[in-house]
Amino acid sequence: MALNLAQKKEVVAELANVASSAYSLVAAEYAGLTVGQLTELRKKARQSGVYLKVAKNTLVARAVEGTDYECVKDSLTGPLLYAFSKEDPGAAGRLIKDFAKGADKLKPALVAIGGKAYPGSHVDVLASLPTREQALSMFLSVLVQPATMLVRLLSEPASQIARVTKAAGEKQAA
């Protein structure tokens, strides 16, 4: 069904709003997917905080003007499905990568993050980015490491004295 001018403006405004606050973008070729598969993909996208949209490439090209995703304007060809990560940068990559395992018709076409466009093969790199919770736990472990080492260093002389005393006691008992 063709869109009239007002509907096109509404789609462009909606996409521009999402693109301005998104962390990353994955565009994937979806030709050959069934309606049931697309419905399942949309359901998983909602659960993982990913904005998923099938739109005309010309409308998406207009919507990404002035955003970090302007770099993909010239690469938008063919029927594409657009996944914008709204909560963490790797969410769209994980969604597309995981869903493509079960649906071989879904092929990542391009990836954009930080104002740079990459080929679809970089979806694995994007999918491997840690979630916010994982990143915080890694940061916390880095912060705790020096304190742990200091405690070990300070307790070592007392441990050595205890081992020497025990060895001396065992030697006298023998």
At 28, the pLDDT band (50, 70, 90 cuts) reads very high
Query: Please, are residues 133 and 87 in contact by the beta-carbon 8 Å criterion?
Result: no
Mean pLDDT of all residues in 62-87: 88
Q: What is the mean pLDDT of the chain?
A: 86
At 52, the pLDDT band (50, 70, 90 cuts) reads very high
Q: What is the pLDDT of residue 26?
A: 92
Mean pLDDT of all residues in 103-122: 87
Coil, helix or strand for 65?
coil
pTM: 0.74
Mean pLDDT of all residues in 136-148: 84
- Compute the distance between CA of residue 115 and CA of residue 41 in angstroms, rounded to an integer: 26
